[in-house]
Amino acid sequence: MSPDLLDWTAGAERLVFEACGGCGRVRYFRRPFCPACGSQAVEARIASGRGTVYAATTVVRAPSAELRAFAPYGIALVDAAEGFRFMAHAADGLRIGDPVATAFRTFGSRLVPFCQPAGDP
Ligand SMILES: [Zn+2]
């Protein structure tokens, strides 16, 4: 993995996805080869953070004691403009089909993507 393409899981404020140079498919979870066609010509790319809400929910029971203070909080699955789906923290009130943009916030001890309604371009 190229160090300039670290993503939010490594503390960099960006979403990174992978595109296959063989078949063109994209995916969020990066691998050293394409699971669809087997090509090793995979390329990491920085996503715009723009997308559309696929699903949204509210977490009422936090998964750890550290996060209990934050509950309830929103989580969404978002279909990115680039064609992959990702999970992110989400603003209150997001609904399926809403256009969103991604910012980054500290949540507990981690940096997380945070989707909010997309403003006018
Ligand atoms: Zn492929």
pLDDT in tens, 5-53: 899 999 999 999 999 999 999 999 999 999 999 999 999 999 999 999 9
**Are residues 57 and 109 located together in one domain of the fold?**
yes
Instruction: Report the number of distinct structural domains present in the chain.
Output: 2
Q: CATH number of the domain at 31, please.
A: 2.20.28
- Read off the pTM: 0.90
Cα–ligand 1 centroid distance for 86 (angstroms): 19
**Are residues 66 and 93 located together in one domain of the fold?**
yes
Q: CATH number of the domain at 105, please.
A: 2.40.50
Cα–ligand 1 centroid distance for 44 (angstroms): 13
Cα–ligand 1 centroid distance for 108 (angstroms): 36
**Are residues 55 and 112 located together in one domain of the fold?**
yes
Residues 6 or more apart whose CB falls under 8 angstroms from that of 95 comprise 53, 56
Q: What is the pLDDT of residue 121?
A: 52
- Domain range spanning residue 23? 3-46
Q: What is the pLDDT of residue 2?
A: 55
The residue among 54, 96, 92 whose CA lies nearest residue 73 is 92
